[in-house]
Structure 1
């Protein structure tokens, strides 16, 4: 009968411990919602081969068209395997939350002894009953840890989105620069071929011909260097998108990168960043967790374990003898002071980390905004002054050449200067695009 009563008690405990918790899907959906609110596309957590196959189909479809920045983000968010690893942290934290709500399993013991024609069998069960009191505290800790992890994963997603935007800008501009410089190289080549013919005809000193040859060779080296940089930038983009094999043969959209004057002012951006940044919210949850952990350590410092035991003994020829017992730890050597002190130190550490995070975020906002304004002004000057001035110079030189007032070398040189100005403008545009991506992440949302 004692065993039946024990089974009923265990069933009651199981019922009390079986309260519902947030599922992995619910946690991931919450992260997805956080990132959507900050301007990013839907996430996808690959957990089965069938889901992986569907992602491959989506990636193939997106790559069948010229690659835009928007589709770059879509591919990265569903196909980047570093992000997929990060999503699994949600599963780990959620599993730990479930585990925190469970009591330790009862210990079932059985022994049998024989002697002098007598057989004694003993059946025992031990239950860590005090676990039931600490389950709400442990569940609170597990819930805070899960929330902290959700914010941390969301922040990782936004960082990855920023990196994907910057990588797309680098790769697209590197390809455009390499293509643009090929036309400059043709101008150098034309100058060199003309110089060789003039030198052969005796109309150009050898020294001048060698100078033109050296200039052409330097231009050829520069073209090779740009092609190498293009390959490196493209592979950096391939890695962040998780592409390989035939997937890497995509072409970029011909749609140009846009330079728009920032429509925001520095005023209010620091406050927005503090409210919106997910790493800030993760740091705040870390403080809550440390505080709850310190409270848990304080409450359990003297009485962390209590075990109830039931033994049922049966000896041959005698009635069954049942024994009920309790086991309590006696705080003689360890009063839990070390655990309490450690948890308090961890709490203080998390508070200082939160303060440091807030200070750093504010600094990043000011720095990021200044960088965006400076890069915009530089890009504007290249587009509106330097490129247009070199274009007008080239047009004037063309008129002089047509009137035989300037030679072919002057025309070719001005063509090269115009092409180089356009390349410098591309670099400035790329710097502006990356500064914009950085600031959007820094303030925790779109500009």
Structure 2
């Protein structure tokens, strides 16, 4: 019977910390949670083979014109900043396992000799009250793991937003370079015509120099746009985590159009508070801090209690066995500092949660206002200014055909029309980025679509 009790006790000690959820289970749960908010499939790279598989997937996606959807997909599986974030799950899950383990027993051995007598002793010291604290520690570890899962999910959604915005910037920059090519050709045509007229004596040198100055400024604008295009592509490359020949991809060749008008501002603040993962993580932090404060208060005088069993043998005497308990005397340290510390952490977490909730509400209002104004600006360009300048160009073409206007007026109106189309393109890009911002701000892409 005694042997069975010892074996049962030992089995409990061994298994007490093993009934915890695995890292993969937590990651898969986080994957489903973020996918429900608009993110795609995630990959946690742990082995060289998994890295090779992802590299192949990335190369396959980059072998065709890159769409915004595929840019997000590559970011989620290949961005190494996200991979570092995923490891926080492994760290938190390891802490949970550790919380379920008892402290190792201390084995002591002593030997002495004096007056012709040999004495030896062996002792075992065990923090047996760990059996009481393990459930409390595991509860804290579970809350910390849940908070980590929510925080990592929030980072995933942030990465989705940044990938979308960097793709939009790259797409706009590419289209700006293309549109500016038409402007530069128009300036070249003006300069060539002016040089022929100057050679024929039909244009003054001053007018020629003015036209040449306009052309040189157009060239500078072209250089700046190519610089901005390179910068935008590199921002996208960093988000996707690609390098070397992987960066030779092309973007899809499709026009950027103004999509539907903004969603109605109906309870967006409440929606954000209910669905933002960083809010949920902050709530878990408050719960953790409250449990930690209670745990510290309940165990402040008992954590160092030890059970000790010893056996001594002296020359010519029978072995002497003993069992005892070591209890710290609360004379100097009553645990007041630890209690005060955990209470301060709790108060801090509550204030942080309230601050975050206030800021999130402000972000929702700001993002929604920015979305609406961006839409109004883009619509004004798309439905009014572009069409007006197109009509101006058509009228100038008629005047030119009727020899009522000269070639310079026609070329100038062509350049103005191209400039307006470029400004319209920028406005559409700003609206699309505002959509990505609001989608994250209220808790996810799918949430926005349901409002």
TM-score grouping bracket, smaller chain normalisation: over 0.9
Distance 1:376 1:358 in 2: 27
Q: Which residue of 1 aligns with 2:322?
A: 323
The root-mean-square deviation of aligned C-alpha atoms, in Å, is 1.6
Q: Does 1:223 align with 2:222?
A: yes
What is residue 293 of structure 1 aligned with on the other side?
A: 292
User: 1:302 deviation in Å?
Assistant: 2.1
Residues 124 and 309, structure 1, Cα contact 8 Å, conserved in 2: yes
Maintained 8 Å contact 1:155/1:278? yes
Where 2:66 maps in the other structure, the secondary structure is coil
Residue 274 of structure 1 deviates from its aligned partner by 0.6
Moved more, 314-323 or 279-288: 314-323
Q: How does 1:8-407 map to 2 (within 5 A)?
A: 8=7, 11-15=10-14, 17-115=16-114, 117-262=116-261, 264-407=263-406
SS in 2 for 1:259: coil
Decide whether the 8 Å contact of 1:120 with 1:316 is kept in 2. Answer: yes
Shift of 1:120: 2.5
State the SS of the aligned residue for 1:38.
coil
The answer to whether the 8 Å contact 1:66/1:250 transfers is: yes
The alignment's TM-score, normalised by the length of structure 1, stands at 0.96
Which ranges of structure 1 fall in alignment gaps of 5 or more residues? none
User: What is the aligned residue count?
Assistant: 445
> Once the 2 structures are TM-superposed, how far is the Cα of residue 13 of structure 1 from its aligned partner?
4.4
Question: How far apart, CA to CA, are the structure 2 residues paired with 1:19 and 1:231?
Answer: 52
Q: In terms of mean alpha carbon deviation, does 234-243 or 119-128 score higher?
A: 119-128
Comparing 70-79 and 266-275, the one that deviates more: 266-275
* 1:404 shift after superposition: 1.1
Residue number in structure 1 paired with 2:436: 437
Aligned residues of 1:261 and 1:376 also touching (Cα < 8 A): no
Shift of 1:196: 1.1
Q: Confirm or deny: 8 A CA contact 2:256 2:425 kept in the other structure.
A: no
- Closer, same or farther: CA 334–196 of 1 in aligned 2, 3 Å: same
Structure 1 Cα separation of the partners of residues 291 and 45 of structure 2: 33
Give CA deviations for 1:37-65 in whole Å, capped at 9, x if unaligned: 10110111000101000000100011011
Q: Secondary structure at the match of 2:278?
A: helix
Unaligned segments of structure 2, at least 5 residues: none
Q: Cα offset for 1:257?
A: 3.2
CA distance in 2, matches of 1:306, 1:248: 62
**Once structures 1 and 2 are overlaid, which stretch shifts more, 196-205 or 81-90?**
196-205
Deviation at 1:9, TM superposition (A): 7.5
- Indicate conservation of the 8 Å contact 1:131/1:305, yes or no: no
Q: CA deviation at 1:381?
A: 1.0
User: Does the CA contact (< 8 Å) of 1:13 and 1:132 recur in 2?
Assistant: no
In structure 1, how many angstroms separate the alpha carbons of the residues matched to 2:85 and 2:194?
Answer: 61
Q: CA offset at residue 314 of structure 1? A: 2.5
Report the Cα distance in structure 1 between the residues aligned to 2:316 and 2:249, rounded to whole angstroms.
Answer: 87
Cα distance in 2 for residues equivalent to 1:258 and 1:296: 58
2:317 counterpart SS class = coil
